[in-house]
A = this chain, B = another copy of it.
């Protein structure tokens, strides 16, 4: 990052990030406390007031801090550290007034200015302004969902749980508030069961509220607690209608996660089933079927090592760098390319692609037309020949050894079968491409020929 102006912080600053994460914890507290204080008015002026004041203080600090944090301009992709612009943007987007309104401790100010403790519902509703802070949680989840360091599945799952819990908590608290602010306590959902519920413990009231809220959300609906007066009925209806959306949203998300989560298993099973079906319908011999199966299974296991899919979307320069990193050493150690020019090696390596072969699979079949030759990047292969119908072991090749080049250079059918011993990584070179690549490097061509003759 380039140098910022004095007293201006980058939004990527590690300490600023920490501060933001710490604030999210406070937001969670606010999200819980605001509806709770509406339902149980006395805690707002009692036990929870000092906590609220401390939390508010932190947010005051954050408001001030915001004037000193640079922001990223969306069109130029540049950090803006001009303090005037920062302030202007903060005020313009209506964030500042909302931030201030959600931070002012109205009840406390009223007490200071009037000297009276007011537990009126007005302050309960004013406190709900603090829920404006929830946008920070929403932003956090949006960021986490795009951050590949965190599992999308768990991020999404946590988000769904958070949304559900907040809905349940808010509805329960509001429902309790409806009962507690109703004129006839015995004509309310809780009062018809628990006499004198207003003077019972907060714990009891909160348990009942949450119980009703969850029983309704999950559509269990035992019916032991149900709406009694019209106001409750109306809120209950709204809550139930909202719950349809929420449930559908939860199920839809879960389905989405499951569909994506099992996509790979389905693809693998599909591919393997195809091979099994194909083999049995065409009555292929058992050994051949097993080779096909082993190869397909390996293909899925080594899917992450496959280059094509990953590299094809990248620009040429990056692809070259990757190929240099992966294959240069193997190419330089191959006997055929000893002493050739740096340029040719670089050019050659760029075109290389690795394939994986499981153990006991033929790479080259004896007598097949020689069109490709191979460099062994890792693993081990056997050179075999068939004489009078029996298989004879000739030799074993290891890393940086070549196979099939004799057939290619003499333009004869492959004289040997090449079969893997264990999991092997093999680089295939097409004879045709190789010749074309060699054309401008006549010196290197001679070196290669002399290398080959020496080897023979």
Contact = CB atoms under 8 A, between A and B. Distances in A.
Interface of A: 77, 145-146, 148, 152, 164, 168, 203-204, 207-208, 210-211, 214-224, 226-227, 230, 233-234, 236-237, 240-241, 243-245, 247-260, 262, 265-266, 268-269, 271-278, 281-282, 284-285, 288, 291-292, 295-296, 299, 304-307, 309-310, 313-318, 320-322, 325-326, 342-343, 346-347, 350, 355, 357, 361-365, 367-369, 372, 413, 422-423
A365 B164 contact: no
Contacts of A309: 274
Contacts of A268: 146
Residue from A218, A250, A257, A292 with most neighbouring chain B CB atoms (10 Å):
A218
A218 B240 contact: yes
Contacts of A227: 211, 222, 224
Contacts of A226: 222-224
A344 to B, nearest CB: 10
A295 B314 contact: yes
A268 to B, nearest CB: 7
B278 A304 contact: yes
B278 A305 contact: yes
The 6 closest A-B pairs by CB, nearest first: A220-B221, A223-B223, A248-B254, A252-B255, A317-B362, A222-B223
Contacts of A363: 315, 317
13 contacts: A77-B422, A221-B222, A222-B222, A244-B247, A248-B251, A249-B258, A253-B258, A288-B318, A288-B322, A292-B318, A292-B322, A318-B361, A343-B367
Contacts of A148: 269, 272-273, 276
Nearest to A240: B218
B320 A368 contact: yes
A439 to B, nearest CB: 12
Contacts of A367: 342-343, 346
A364 to B, nearest CB: 6
Contact of A249 (B254, B305, B316, B322): B254
A45 B411 CA distance: 83
Contact of A325 (B230, B285, B306, B413): B285
Contacts of A203: 230
Contact of A224 (B223, B269, B342, B343): B223
A225 to B, nearest CB: 8
B296 A318 contact: no
A336 B233 CA distance: 78
A139 to B, nearest CB: 15
A261 to B, nearest CB: 9
Nearest to A266: B260
Contact of A315 (B218, B314, B361): B361
A392 to B, nearest CB: 18
A162 B453 CA distance: 68
A362 to B, nearest CB: 4
Contacts of A314: 292, 295-296
A244 B218 contact: yes
Contact of A251 (B146, B218, B224, B251): B251
Contact of A274 (B217, B237, B275, B310): B310
Contacts of A369: 347, 350
A310 B240 contact: no
Contact of A254 (B240, B252, B350): B252
